Amino acid sequence: MKTDRPEFLPRQVKWYSASTEEELAKKLTKNIKAMYAELSLTNKRSSLAVSGGSTPINFFQKVSKLDILWSSIDITLIDDRWVEPTHKDSNEFLVRKYLLQNKAVNANFIPLKNNSNSAKDGQKELEGCLDKLKKPIDLSILGMGNDGHTASLFPCSDELYLAMDIDNQNKCIAVNPKTAPYERISLTRSMINKSNNIALYIVGEKKLETLEIAINNKDPLKMPIYAFLNKGLSIYWSP
């Protein structure tokens, strides 16, 4: 099965591919193990930000079993829906079920949902909570929708311009997408962009088509993933 590096990718982007989702999850897990084992030798704390959805479940389960110093790792989410953490559509629910298990149960988890009635009301408190996160984030793992959104940085949302402002010093932002359910809370572009490492974990030919369109359009306000392609990132992909 063809998994060669696509010619349209910018030179600064690193490419990791596998012929199956299982092999891709193993590849990312191996690289995470090496990264955090090394970080534990040089830093008191390290950090990891992950995305939700069904795609990362496989590598969540594998990463949770890694023999690394979990007690020194802060974990947070790239974004979440403003629903209860027990809701089936909650990214927190997903992370608690599949990642914060086994050896990873000792990690320090910083959720993006609090008891406020809305994400907008809860944002100020979350800014304080994220102050406790080791920064810059050592690794942010992004996903991507077929419209080119990443995190909850939706092209259709009124909050996108502020969320994508590289000079915005806020760490998170409330977002109300017009084409997706639920109010959201998302890390801002500037927060993600400051990460020491950024990875994009995607599966399927359609995702590659979306990336190619984003690169050709060169407009992060229309396809927010482009903002992180500019910086350079590691792409993990399987058919």
pTM, to two decimals? 0.97
Q: What is the mean pLDDT of residues 131-152?
A: 97
Q: What is the mean pLDDT of residues 135-158?
A: 97
Q: Where are the domains of the chain?
A: 16-39+47-238
Q: Model confidence over 24-60: pLDDT tens digits?
A: 999 999 999 999 999 999 889 999 999 999 999 999 9
Q: Please answer whether residues 21 and 203 qualify as being in contact, where contact means their C-beta atoms are separated by less than 8 angstroms.
A: yes
User: Model confidence at 230, in pLDDT bands (50, 70, 90)?
Assistant: confident
Fold of the domain spanning 16-39+47-238? Rossmann fold (3.40.50)
User: Would you say 47 and 18 are in contact if contact means Cβ atoms under 8 Å apart?
Assistant: no
Please tell me the predicted confidence (pLDDT) of residue 1. Answer: 63
pLDDT tens-digit series, residues 175-208:
999 999 999 999 999 999 999 999 999 999 999 9
CA distance 163 to 191: 10
Number of CB atoms found within 10 A of residue 124's CB: 12
pLDDT band for position 231 (cuts 50, 70, 90): confident
Q: Give the residue from 165, 239, 232 showing the smallest Cα distance to 15.
A: 232
CA angle 112, 173, 227 (to 5 degrees): 110
CA distance 210 to 149: 10
Distances (CA, A) of 107 to 17, 58, 118: 28, 19, 27
